[in-house]
Chains A and B, each alone.
Chain A
């Protein structure tokens, strides 16, 4: 399509949770390009953390993970992880968004998610995914199914201990390794900088410890003592050998002074391939270190390190030669030294701190001074900046004279060895650069705190631990001060709080075979990119309320008080305890658990959260039910609540089932929690009878509310959108997914706390809104893939290529890959067998493609990881090589072999051979399969002309498609005409909506018209309609069912008998017409809620009635402040921000009186026309209360419009037991019907408020547009195909199919023959049930045919001896 507009056809979606995923998928399928930005390293948001979801009890991960792969593999969705949106500029249709990409510190494109980096990483951090109930490594993948399937690294900056070390010795690194007992590797880390580990481990003045942030908790780490322990317990020589020396250079360097600086310089020069000679004025090496008292530094320890350095570097020391006397700088240059390093001791007067710290008795160690300093200047042209030091460049250590570098006391004044060593290391680098003719300064900068560090918070709540002390030194019996014991050293090292997260030990770099983890990746920096987009969708989700600051709940001090999110992880099989339900404090199985509702919700005393979080009642019930399933009925579960708000579809039934299952519900707010010594918690509460109770529980779960995301305010500021008073994104009821800034839309929990179905609904609605803005630019930014023509392999003998993967060492360290390759070569039809280091790498794809072409392969087997994650990628490569993508089979020899049989290499290899043999056997029987293009109608049919149908039709039209709108009456607008709202002008809204629909040229309205019959399938429906002028046909690609609902007409409470008793809509009529009766002073209005609702006959909550009655009550009070108002209720269900109205009503004197179903109010008319007498048992006083009401309003809830005839029979839709439309999946497909191409919206689905109806209608339009936007539909592939010859028309398949696909059709080739079963490939879901059920084996299920599976099975179990003989 050509671009008819200057608008951008791309959309920015912020947040990769279920909302962002749904919006992105809908937009991409509608023809837009999506940039999906997520702040986390993996998309998925909160859903992956949930164990099960209500009310279906589906495993959350199971239903989400296919979506993750869909998004990840979508060519028109670019996921940008670890990124945040800074701001946007421009106008709707053309925004520029600035996105900050934070580093992942791993090259995600190379990462194979093998996890080898995590295996070697010594840093343990709390696993956020498990709500910090378990540990993860600094390099991590949040969860097994994460997309992108790649690791990332937590790095908060260089830890302060490293920055503060003058030589930048990586203290964090060696401490972390030491904590794991990995002393040898710890020593390598130390010796990367410091060739004196044992010496400095004894005498360093440890500036690192001054900066140690552990001090904020208790005391800084004994870093130096840990270093000493490591040095004393590991092998220097072996450590030295791990460093790769640069190739030997020609140049030789003269080092003056064999002190710590000179020797360090020699060491680092040697690593750079440069030899050196050392000139020392005295008779010994070691310089100032020789002056340290013996008991502190054993001279043998020092000598051992000096010997190592000399051995390692090959440097020779010339003793007894004095500078200025025996040689000069000039003479050294003349002797052929390419560069000179001055590492001479200080003048004798100023004392170094090492000496000072040794106390007065050990003063004046230094006999060797640099007294010659002054004469040097004269002699060699160096300049002095202080009387006894040489002026050098602080970065490069270069002196004023070319080729001369200086460090040590001479350069820095009398500091410590560690300063001298740092400077000497830098000098060595400079000298190497100087010798190589390179720029001395380029790319170097001193390591300093940048202020950008986001160091981990000091865990002040964790228990304090004493700093380890070295054993006391007994001068009488011991010659030397002792070091830490191993136990103490490890314990001490474990105190490290890993300020910078990653400790930069670079073990991961060594471990990473694909090269994803490298020194370069460790050095990644944030990058800001600009994206041009036409619209923006915010889907940033929520945070959970943090109860730490509330004293009442004892959360931060008491491990057996957990949040509901933590509890989800406790329940999860992938959680910290593998799903064994145990309490975190002592791993005891709880026998009695309490849930406390409304923690951080409906609470302005303990926190500032007035609103209801809308989901907590349901998730608490779910957690209680699932817990009972885990632990059997013996588990005692109690939910302490104020109102149970199970208002959604099937929620009330779930609540009822929970009660039947023995979950106890206690209406009370807990006022005190008292932890017990044995780990239990005592709850004190006052029950409904006013009785004070104390009850013990093993564990308490806080049902924490949902709060705006921590960074939402900042994002909103950057995007220029307003927040509401609760801190969520401000939207309005008639435009529920629009922010205050045009072109910026918002969906899901960042608008208001809400559950998953509603979130998914809004996500599709946001796709609609964004899509409409840039409808003209559809397909201007999208990409498509092109492939070479497929090779016809008909008649060819199978030529199979087998590719066996090493997966680095993931497979190869267990399985003998070479043996498997050799074995594969001899299997039938195998033309070629090869091994790959990483089969998924891009070069392996090139190799695979070339092999297919070169060897004329017509089948491919890859033995590597799981087809779940990698089959699409390999199929893509087959397509690129001109081979049908179904000629491919995988053998999962990693996830299901090498990883799970690590201790049994031989048998794992044997199993790998079996799996390859099975895959080859199936591959030989694979046939090319073709998906064919099928045209479609680009028009939509909407059934129902209420607010849902009108919005749906209008949105489809605005997205650019023709719509047919059927309305069975002669009026558009449905129920909305009858609703009165205090908050919003609904009647005005409907009037405008109808006008807009009527004026839209793409919409054809058919009033007084009903559908009579419908045929066809997605893209190609044909519906016969009955209108005033007779029957007519409509061809349409999609159908939206919006048949609406109606007020329930009750038989109770004198309805229809007394003029004073009415339904909510009748009262609305009075309020709308400004009935003067309302204003009569002193009148009494009563409302009865849940009339014939939430009872066995109608076991559902109508969701809107509580809010509506409260709103009506407030309207009456607005007009008649003297009115008395009573609301008789069972639970007040003013969920979300509606709680605000409830709060207002109570504060303005509306009296709420609770009743139970077993003591319903009694309503009598004392005499005809007289006020109504209502008797109700007051739940506080426990006494009958008599209310004489002038008007009684019955909140009777909503019934679905009868749909049996029009919907079920015509469109083959399914209904729930309550008569509402049944969606394809209650959680993740709340707008789709089970039949592809059919969608639903509004009250026909379930009672819902207007704003939700509007959102769902918009959503239905987006879902419809994902189909209407396509030029054709691809059909076929992995589907069932019936053989007309074999079919006996027994209709077994028709009954077995879960989605009613098979039909009996006429035999087109020979109409005289009997008909046969036919599965329309466009709608077959590909489960294969029919093929297995068919008694005549007339159905072939492609890619999993009987023959293919049997061949595979036979080959898998084939006796191995037989195979060997082959």
Chain B
């Protein structure tokens, strides 16, 4: 394995859409980077800022939340609430000197397996470009 920086990324996926899309990417055998590990939650409305903070504290370099398409949340507006929390957290991260791009919100439907693979690739590339999380460096120091 090369010494290239391989970020650790946590993705919060809702059971209805994005987790399904991830499974679909699997059944379509779409290949994407190994950096993302998924935490299944019932709805992105369950996503909580403290969960993302826990991820960063534990050494994650990036976190994203993937919910249903806007307007299609199975619980009306869970994904909209998640979006707000993500925006809030991005702002807070910025305040403490962490790149806000390390947290993101995505929306996709259960049939969008290819989009899921695309998101993993896209987000991994983004985090690679940012380099290791400053939190991790701090903790290591």
Residues of A within 8 A of B (CB): 51, 56-62, 65-66, 115, 144-145, 572-574, 578-579, 866-869, 892, 894-897, 899-904, 906-908, 910-911, 914-915, 918, 1278, 1296, 1298-1299, 1325-1329, 1331-1333, 1341, 1344, 1346, 1349-1350, 1352-1354, 1356-1359
Contact = CB atoms under 8 A, between A and B. Distances in A.
Given A62-B20, A62-B72, A907-B34, A1356 B110 contact: no
Given A574-B111, A866-B26, A1298-B45, 6 more contacts: A57-B71, A573-B111, A573-B113, A574-B24, A1298-B78, A1327-B45
Contact of A1353 (B23, B29, B39, B117): B39
A895 B26 contact: yes
Interface string B99-111: 0000000000111
Contacts of A56: 72
A866 B23 contact: yes
Contacts of B117: 900
Contact of A144 (B1, B28, B32): B28
B27 A573 contact: no
30 contacts: A59-B72, A62-B16, A62-B72, A66-B16, A144-B28, A573-B111, A573-B114, A574-B28, A574-B111, A866-B23, A866-B26, A867-B40, A868-B15, A868-B20, A896-B38, A897-B34, A899-B26, A900-B31, A900-B117, A901-B31, A901-B34, A915-B37, A1296-B81, A1327-B46, A1327-B78, A1328-B41, A1328-B45, A1329-B78, A1349-B39, A1350-B50
A51 B110 CA distance: 11
Contacts of B45: 1296, 1298, 1327-1329, 1332
B31 A907 contact: no
Contacts of A895: 22-23, 25-27
B79 to A, nearest CB: 10
B46 to A, nearest CB: 3
Interface residues of B, number: 57
Interface in B36-61: 37-43, 45-48, 50-51, 54-55, 58-60
Nearest to B49: A1332
Given A903-B31, A1357-B59, A1329 B39 contact: no
B82 to A, nearest CB: 8
Contact of A1354 (B19, B54, B68): B54
B111 A59 contact: yes
B66 interface: no
B41 A1349 contact: yes
Of A866, A867, A902, A1331, most B-chain CB atoms within 10 Å: A866
Closest 9 pairs between A and B when the two form their complex, measured CB to CB: A1328-B46, A895-B26, A1329-B45, A59-B109, A1298-B76, A1327-B75, A899-B26, A1327-B43, A62-B110
B68 A1327 contact: no
B17 to A, nearest CB: 6
A1350 B53 CA distance: 9
A1298 B110 contact: no
Nearest to B117: A900
B6 to A, nearest CB: 8
A985 to B, nearest CB: 45
B46 A899 contact: no
A60 B17 CA distance: 12
Of A56, A115, A1352, A1356, most B-chain CB atoms within 10 Å: A1356
A1349 B51 CA distance: 7
A1346 B51 contact: yes
Contact of A1278 (B42, B74, B110, B112): B42
A331 to B, nearest CB: 65
B114 A578 contact: yes
Given A902-B31, A1298-B78, A1325-B75, A144 B23 contact: yes
B102 to A, nearest CB: 13
A1307 B117 CA distance: 49
A59 B110 contact: yes
A910 B34 contact: yes
A523 to B, nearest CB: 29
B128 interface: no
B85 A1329 contact: no
Contact of B34 (A57, A868, A911): A911
Contacts of B111: 51, 59-62, 572-574
Contacts of B30: 900
B127 interface: no
A135 to B, nearest CB: 15
Interface in B62-96: 68-69, 71-72, 74-78, 81, 85
B85 A896 contact: no
Contacts of A869: 23
Contacts of A1331: 46, 48
A1332 to B, nearest CB: 4
A42 B130 CA distance: 46
A66 B68 CA distance: 15
Contact of B39 (A910, A1332, A1341, A1352): A1352
Contacts of A61: 109-111
B34 A908 contact: yes
Contacts of B10: 1353, 1356-1357
B58 A1358 contact: yes
A574 B25 CA distance: 10
B115 to A, nearest CB: 7
Contacts of B68: 62
Contacts of A572: 111
A1326 B46 CA distance: 10
A795 B50 CA distance: 29
A900 B51 contact: no
A779 to B, nearest CB: 32
B39 A573 contact: no
B109 A62 contact: yes
A957 to B, nearest CB: 34
Nearest to A1225: B74
Interface in B111-136: 111-115, 117
A974 B107 CA distance: 47
Nearest to A115: B27
A57 B69 CA distance: 10
Given A1350-B50, A1353-B55, A914 B37 contact: yes
Contacts of A1325: 75
Given A868-B15, A1298-B78, A1357 B40 contact: no
A1353 B51 contact: yes
Contacts of A1333: 81
Contacts of B72: 56-59, 62
Nearest to B108: A573
B27 A1332 contact: no
Contacts of A907: 1, 34
A56 B71 CA distance: 9
Contacts of B59: 1357-1359
B10 to A, nearest CB: 6
A896 B78 contact: no
B20 to A, nearest CB: 6
Contact of B54 (A62, A144, A1299, A1353): A1353
Contacts of A866: 19, 23, 26
Nearest to B30: A900
A1329 B43 contact: yes
Contact of B69 (A59, A908, A1299, A1332): A59
A575 to B, nearest CB: 9
A1216 to B, nearest CB: 15
A154 to B, nearest CB: 20
A1331 B59 CA distance: 25
B29 A900 contact: yes
Given A1329-B81, A1350-B54, A573 B31 contact: no
Contacts of B74: 1327
A516 B78 CA distance: 42
Contacts of A911: 34, 37
Contacts of A867: 40
A904 B34 contact: yes
B38 to A, nearest CB: 6
